[in-house]
Structure 1
């Protein structure tokens, strides 16, 4: 990557980090996309100044990605990265026109989010046996929190005891962009959290006091451990292809919608920035109604 491009990229990632306050994971994603783009531009068109990058250059890069078999959803993410980057350069007056103005994103076939049926969730918490040790207690609480609150894996791992309000029966979650949201929780989950926190002080000699959930060594949970734990238990109760922490988030939202929850309320609970991201769950609700109609109506 040319020195000029490297400097522009560093300025942009600093902006994402200190002004937009994006997570390190998101910043790394932006950085990876932009590095790949600039490397391609240099390889195909030589050392090109920012203001000399044409829409045709970008289309060539996108066509190259498509030829390599990249999915439309991934290509759209890269387009979004470039749009953000060049929009920032416009504000900095480094360019006068964005080359992204005429770039059209490819259409993506919408997939309905997979979710665990309520009966299977009941089986998970009522009949599945968890080991009678620290790992078993932690894994059960992981599943309880993910399903009962719909929080993301990263939010779960970073959840502090101080964010749990036993008096108001709620938890305060710090989501994407450091946006806070309040999620109500039931008495059973509050009791489980309280018992876990008490056991932590009794059973573990040393532990990370910054977070609620810790492993048997008292350390903050690893994202891969959370994923593996969820997959292990969901494999016992459901045959859906995806068995990840995010599936429990989908289940939380879908079950709320199927029981008549307001779309705006679900949006706030999930921490979505716009309704567009939440509306996908209305499709699951419609499919559920279609299924009920097909089974119950004589003329269906």
Structure 2
């Protein structure tokens, strides 16, 4: 079914992150499993029809899969069949006639930046050893720069320019961008570097963020770090690295930052992806209005 070729294509030609490539592979494996059952085995992608894709969507809906997740899976199929079409393996894409379910707009989940700042100012929460300072650096980088999880995992010490106070980030589609570092974040980077230098590791990764044994940090590790510390200040269910990215963008917008500047800092390809944060800002203004204006009620 050309799955290995497709995954290699998005990894090495399109330069998708390992996390994204893994999600694509999972979606396609799930789809192929649905297609191949004892009564009807599909041997080639050209045999797949839009009816089968619709039947898969129905099965996902009946299983209670959210519309947003279904749309992501269909987007995976679109990319996969486009790849096959360009390679001449198929003559038409069966996804062309598929309409995806409508998704209700959801506001980005954020935490209160005041509470987050107080947490980061509390040295006792993190501790003074290497592990504590590394954990603090993870939170500081995600909240202080708005970078993505994959971008954080890819950082090396060479990407940090302490003289200029910037960090070089390799984002989606292999695009580089420069993000400024605040003074407190630079201090944490220096403290982390000093403690890291004194550690004796079993491994010697070149990455900025490493495990307690010195190996490359991995997604699950970062998730656990973020969840651990956000639990101190938030009762909401979602406590992920992306929540800190959302908080970064929303905080900038609430304090009057230009939307185009936020777009560049986040590494968005278009302004439409950044405009979702304006809804959070409007909701905040509504809340302030209801609390402060005598005619609000």
TM-score (norm 2): 0.91
Q: 2:9 aligns with which of 5, 15, 23?
A: 15
Query: Who is 1:51 aligned against?
Result: 46
Alignment CA distance shift 1:162-1:55 (3 Å): same
Q: 1:162 aligns with which of 158, 165, 174?
A: 158
Q: Within 2, Cα distance between the matches of 1:259 and 1:212?
A: 30
Shift of 1:277: 2.4
Query: Who is 2:129 aligned against?
Result: 133
Alignment CA distance shift 1:48-1:261 (3 Å): same
* Conservation of the 8 A alpha-carbon contact between 1:116 and 1:248: yes
Query: Who is 2:21 aligned against?
Result: 27
* Conservation of the 8 A alpha-carbon contact between 2:205 and 2:215: no
Query: Who is 2:56 aligned against?
Result: 61
Matches within 5 A, 1:134-213: 134-204=130-200, 208-213=204-209
Q: Which runs of 5+ in 2 are unaligned?
A: none
Alignment CA distance shift 1:205-1:64 (3 Å): closer
- 2:270 counterpart of 1:281: no
Query: Who is 2:72 aligned against?
Result: 77
Query: Who is 2:114 aligned against?
Result: 119
Q: Within 1, Cα distance between the matches of 2:23 and 2:198?
A: 41
Q: Within 1, Cα distance between the matches of 2:149 and 2:61?
A: 31
- 2:264 counterpart of 1:268: yes
Q: Secondary structure at the match of 1:101?
A: helix
Q: Which runs of 5+ in 1 are unaligned?
A: none
Q: Within 2, Cα distance between the matches of 1:24 and 1:74?
A: 19
TM-score (norm 1): 0.90
Matches within 5 A, 1:223-262: 223-262=219-258
Q: Within 2, Cα distance between the matches of 1:39 and 1:209?
A: 38
* Conservation of the 8 A alpha-carbon contact between 2:259 and 2:275: yes
Structure 1's consecutive aligned runs of 4 or more residues displaced over 4 angstroms after TM superposition are none
Shift of 1:297: 1.9
Alignment CA distance shift 1:122-1:22 (3 Å): closer
Q: Within 2, Cα distance between the matches of 1:122 and 1:258?
A: 16
Q: Within 1, Cα distance between the matches of 2:262 and 2:108?
A: 15
* 1:148-185 deviation digits (Å, cap 9, x = unpaired): 01112232233111000112210001122322111011
Alignment CA distance shift 1:99-1:220 (3 Å): closer
Shift of 1:48: 5.2
Greater Cα offset, 118-127 or 244-253: 118-127
Shift of 1:206: 6.5
* 1:109-147 deviation digits (Å, cap 9, x = unpaired): 222122111220232122362223222111111111111
Alignment CA distance shift 1:281-1:90 (3 Å): same
* 1:186-234 deviation digits (Å, cap 9, x = unpaired): 1221122123212322344666351222344333334333222222222
